[in-house]
Amino acid sequence: MVKDPGSGETLLSLRGISKHFGAVQALYDVDLDLPSGQVTALCGDNGAGKSVLTKTIAGIHQADGGQMFWEGKPVHIRSAKDSAALGIETVYQDLALADNLDIVQNMFLGRERRNGFFLDEDGMERAAGETLASLHVTTVRSIRQPVATLSGGQRQAVAVAKAVMWNSKLVMLDEPTAALGVAQTQMVLDLVKRLKSHGLAVMVISHNLNDVFEVADRVAILHLGRMVAQDRLSAFDRQSVVDYMTTGVSSREVAASGQGRN
């Protein structure tokens, strides 16, 4: 096990995960731990394998080799259904919401509540309202407004709320603050902290170092498909993260306690 001082229980552990597409090796022997109640930032330059790793956890890709442990037990995630059944939800930046549907409709999309043949609108509206309130998402004018009328930050908040509504234990956010303004970025980061305080394991994929240093408890850095560093946030500074992301190694003092495996 990768040592994880002061953490909650490790929810998902990956050991030796590798994945290739034809001749292209996307992931080499990747280890990753995602503890409950903590935010893990997954960093890496373009093409480092962040997306592939995320999609492997989400069941969209299947790993070629390696093992996954969910709450300590070995699991095989072969499809998006498998990952959803475990309690893994992914929030993709632009792909999560249907603009023409309102907030309630989006949050229950694909899992609508029904009274016999008809939709249980009242029940869904109440539950959606409670979830949004528990996440302190209070800026929306009405939970019946179409998502097209929301700001970027509000859309992201709805997408996150949608993900946490389903007994999810691990939420993965793909570039949650890209394309957001300053105030909206802050709103989403606060939301991420709130997920953590609810006891969820959170993985944030980002190469925005401001975001990483604001919300992350742990940092994991991919470089050309290899996990080159993984440790508590305090083991890094901005320069060492940049070094790992761009070159795969860092000689800086602060990183000495890191778990870098070159």
Partner 1 sequence: MAGVGSESGSGKAPEDLGAQAEAAPDLTAAAVDVIPPEIVAQSLGEYFRAWFTRVRSGDAGVLPALAALLIVGIVFEITVPNGVYLGQINMVGIFDQSAVFILLAIGEGFVLLLGEIDLSIGYVAAIGGIVAGLLVQPQATNPDMFHNWPWWGAILIALLICAVIGGINGFIVTRLRVSSLIVTLAAQMVWFGMMIVILGQAGGLSVSATAPGDQKQIYGIVYGFLDVWVSWVGLALVVAVVGGSMWLRDSSRRRSGLVAPPVGLTVAKIVILALAGAIVVYICSLDRRIGEHSNPVIGVPWVVPLVLAVVGGATILLERTQFGRHVYAVGGNPEAARRAGVGVTAIRTWAFVIAGATAGLAGVVAVSYQSGITTNFNGGQNVLFAVAAAVIGGTSLFGGRGRAIHGLLGGLTIGAIYNGLFALGFPVQVQYIATGLVLLAAVSVDALARRNATAGSVARA
Q: Is the dihedral of CA 238, 239, 242, 247 positive or negative?
A: negative
d(CA 46, CA 31): 19
Instruction: Looking at the chain, list the stretches that DSSP marks H as alpha helix, in order from N- to C-terminal side.
Output: 50-58, 80-86, 103-107, 121-134, 152-164, 182-197, 209-215, 238-247
Q: Write down the least CB distance from residue 69 to partner 1, Å.
A: 21
Among 23, 25, 34, residue whose Cα is nearest residue 71: 34
For partner 1, give the closer residue by CB, 42 or 159. 159
* Least distance (Å) between residue 190 CB and partner 1: 6
Contacts of 22 (CB under 8 A, 6+ apart): none
Question: Which lies closer to partner 1 via its Cβ, residue 198 or residue 261?
Answer: 198
- Of 36 and 259, which has the nearer Cβ to partner 1? 36
Name residue 130's amino acid: E
Please name the amino acid found at residue 145. Answer: Q
For residues 15 and 194, which CB has a smaller minimum distance to partner 1 in the complex? Answer: 194
H/E stretch holding 40 reads: strand 39-44
Give the integer Cα–Cα distance in Å for 211 and 175.
10
Tell me how far, at minimum, the Cβ of 199 lies from partner 1, in Å. Answer: 6
Bridge partners of 198, per DSSP, are: none
Judged by beta carbon, residue 188 or residue 220, the one nearer partner 1 is: 188
- CB 178 to partner 1: min, Å: 11
> Rounded to the nearest whole angstrom, what is the least distance from the CB of residue 4 to partner 1 in the complex?
22
SS3 content of the chain, % helix, strand, coil (to 5): 35, 25, 35
Q: Measured from the CB of residue 251, what is the shortest distance to partner 1 in angstroms?
A: 38
Name the residue nearer to partner 1 (CB basis): 143 or 228: 143
Phi, psi at 119, each rounded to 5° = -70, 140
CA 111 from chain centre, in angstroms, equals 21
In angstroms, what is the minimal distance from the CB of 256 to partner 1? Answer: 33
Q: Which is nearer to partner 1, 38 or 168 (CB)?
A: 168
